[in-house]
Amino acid sequence: MNVNSALNLALVVARGGSKSIPRKNLAPLAGRPLIVWTIEAALRCPGLDRVIVSTDDAEIASVSRAHGAEAPFLRPADLARDDTPTLPVVIHALRWLADQEGYVPEHVMLLQPTSPLRTSEDIAGVLDLAEERRADSVISVSEASTHPHLAKRITAEGLLVDFMDHPAVERRQDLEPVYALNGAIYLAKRSLLLEKQSFYGKVTYPYVMPLERSIDVDTPWDLQLCDLMLREMYGRG
């Protein structure tokens, strides 16, 4: 069975609290709440059969439903703290859907609302890559903005030294490309998530996204930058 003939769940995780930006997932962004950009991108991808929001917040659930997503449950408060990892939230959603609805997707795609520049084409590209490579999982990355060979540290004596030992390279363009997780898309088999509690399997492939679609909204500046880019992209005044 290939990935596009399987049941593919998109799970959007969005808690009500946020330290950096109050009510971040509902923050206005180019004329609509932040979370809506992710919901609409997922709904435009025909390879996904359901788009479900996991949240502890009734307002987020209501806004999500109003824009076409499902929010069939509110997750427990102990899974919505500042220090709650993402994987327990994903596992909770999968078990709730299996127990309450008998819904057992083959693949689960985690979409975080803080990546509003991710497109439906990116989502489809991840699904296609998983099908072509028969992957256990596919994770989006972008080229690292700072190469680790160029990173420095300050010693206890106040000296500036290389962060890591490496062969001398005179030109940046001679460095091997390195990539960083951009947080936009995680796809994995449901069986992998339940058995290993990880998005990393034996066969995990990267989906490379450009830096301009890889901004993760963590600060007010990130939000403002995304607002400017989206208004430019979609002609919003």
- Model pLDDT for residues 101-141, shown as the tens digit of each residue: 999 999 999 999 999 999 999 999 999 999 999 999 999 99
Please classify residue 78 by burial: count the beta carbons closer than 10 Å to its beta carbon, then call 0-12 exposed, 13-18 middle and 19+ buried. exposed
Task: State how far the Cα of 171 lies from the Cα of 55, in Å rounded to an integer.
Answer: 47
Element (H, E) at 8: strand 8-13
Task: State how far the Cα of 211 lies from the Cα of 182, in Å rounded to an integer.
Answer: 9
What the chain holds in terms of domains, given with CATH numbers, is: 3-143+179-234 (3.90.550.10)
Percent of the chain scoring above 90 in pLDDT: 78
pLDDT value at residue 17: 85
Percent of the chain scoring above 70 in pLDDT: 93
Q: Is the pLDDT of residue 2 over 80?
A: no
Tell me the two tokens of residue 73: 């449950």
Among the listed residues 102, 96, 5, 91, the one whose alpha carbon sits nearest the alpha carbon of residue 49: 5
List phi, psi (to 5°) of 19: -85, -45
Tell me the two tokens of residue 202: 């034996």
Element (H, E) at 183: strand 179-189
Among the listed residues 93, 67, 69, 66, the one whose alpha carbon sits nearest the alpha carbon of residue 80: 93
Confidence (pTM): 0.89
